[in-house]
A and B are shown apart, each in its own frame.
Chain A
Amino acid sequence: MMAYIYGLASISLLTSAIINKQKTIKALKTAWNLFVKILPLLIVTLILVSVVLYFLPDYVIAKYLGTSDVFVGVIIASVVGAISLLPGFITFPLSGLLLSQGVSYTVLAAFTTSLMMVGVVTFPLEKKYFGTKLAIVRNLVSFAIAIIVSIGIGIIYGEVF
């Protein structure tokens, strides 16, 4: 995957350079400025992630999601998903493991959707690009979506109602 991104970027950059050198230099300058502007916040985000992951490592998440009550599970899963920030290559094997341990699809849908859409630790970063108001509204709405998706999945899998 990383190779693909590098391939795409190099081909794009090379094509751009062949067509117009000036514009390519401008693009690189833009890229650099974007990066420098966001760097301090990015470091802060990484710090938050490292602290959150210390208190909420994957096995603790597994313990919390393993509750028997589906509704309590959905609430816990969406809150944990909102706070935590796990990369996909940990999230999905973890979800697969939980599924085999008897955690419902309903709870897993709440967990994965909230994890992907709601970002408490990335909030400062989001705020910088989209402002406080929009960032708050978007995260709240995303949280609601995570719960609706999980209920929908639960109904279809016959786990709730």
Chain B
Amino acid sequence: MQENIKKEETNKNKKPNKKPMLILIAFYTLFVAVSYIFNFDSGIKMGENFAFFAIDMIKLFPPAFILVGLFMVWVDRKTIEKYFGEKSGLMGHLAAILLACTTLYPFVVVLPMAAALSKKGARLSIVLTYLGASAICRIPMTIFEASFLGLKFSILRYVISLPLIVLSSIFIEKIVGRKYMLNNPELDS
């Protein structure tokens, strides 16, 4: 019962939130369309930027979301709790870093994956380590980085930032509370 009431409340809260988004999308579309008609440079450039990133996302999303979907269905809660759960400690952070290193996606696709991990019982601080580590130590990206800035730079960056990420994740969990995700059931995951 209580859950239903809570859900209704969040639904009510959500509805008005969509409107500004739709207005923004409509306004932007109109602006770009008008820019193309009247050959207005700024609008055309923005439209090109949009198309450039949108094409990237469209290519990336089907496989990425299919993998997250398969993860949600196949990986059982116990496995996640064992490796990333409340009791996994430092090894959990290490596992999260290893998982993050193999990440191929940009942040926008890592987000739903991290949310899925959390939903399956991963500890908040470990989810945060995964988020942070996947931002800075994706191996495919690092190879690219090292070829432009040198291997020394990349290694130093890993060595300095990874401990900071683990420490800050534990710290952030303390600030928002370990049960933060459970206390916010309206969040998408």
Q: Does A79 contact B (CB under 8 A)?
A: no
Query: Distance (Å) between the CB of A88 and the closest chain B CB?
Result: 5
A148–B160 touching, CB < 8 Å:
yes
CA distance A45 to B49 in the complex (A): 12
* B residues lining the A interface (CB < 8 Å): 18, 21-22, 24-25, 28, 42, 45-47, 49-50, 53-54, 56-57, 59-70, 72-74, 104-108, 111-112, 114-115, 128, 131-132, 135-136, 140-141, 144-145, 147-149, 153, 156-157, 160-161, 164-165, 168, 171-172, 175-176, 180-181, 184, 187-189
Q: Does A37 contact B (CB under 8 A)?
A: yes
A54 proximity list for chain B (CB < 8 A): 42, 45-46, 49
Query: Distance (Å) between the CB of B175 and the closest chain A CB?
Result: 6
The residue on B at minimum CB distance from A4 is: B104
B136 proximity list for chain A (CB < 8 A): 113, 116-117
B70 proximity list for chain A (CB < 8 A): 12-13, 16, 24, 27, 31
Q: Does A89 contact B (CB under 8 A)?
A: yes
A29 proximity list for chain B (CB < 8 A): 69
Q: Does A102 contact B (CB under 8 A)?
A: no
Q: Does A160 contact B (CB under 8 A)?
A: no
Query: Distance (Å) between the CB of B9 and the closest chain A CB?
Result: 15
Q: Does A75 contact B (CB under 8 A)?
A: no
Q: Does A130 contact B (CB under 8 A)?
A: yes
CA distance A4 to B184 in the complex (A): 36
The residue on A at minimum CB distance from B47 is: A50
A50 proximity list for chain B (CB < 8 A): 46-47, 49-50, 53
A93 proximity list for chain B (CB < 8 A): 148
Known A4-B104, A137-B175; contact A47-B24, beta-carbon cutoff 8 A: yes
CB < 8 Å neighbour of B28 from A5, A8, A40, A47: A47
Q: Does A87 contact B (CB under 8 A)?
A: yes
CA distance A137 to B136 in the complex (A): 18
CA distance A50 to B51 in the complex (A): 9
Per CB-CB distance, the 6 closest pairs between chain A and chain B, nearest first, are A31-B69, A96-B148, A9-B63, A50-B49, A50-B50, A27-B69
Chain B interface SS verdict (over half): helix
Please tell me the size bucket of the interface on A: 35 or more
Query: Distance (Å) between the CB of B185 and the closest chain A CB?
Result: 11
* A residues lining the B interface (CB < 8 Å): 1-2, 4-6, 8-10, 12-13, 16, 23-24, 26-32, 34-35, 37-38, 40-47, 49-51, 53-54, 87-89, 92-93, 95-96, 99, 105, 108-109, 112-113, 116-117, 119, 122, 125-126, 128-131, 133-134, 137-138, 141-142, 144-145, 148-149, 152-153, 156
A5 proximity list for chain B (CB < 8 A): 60, 63-64, 104-105
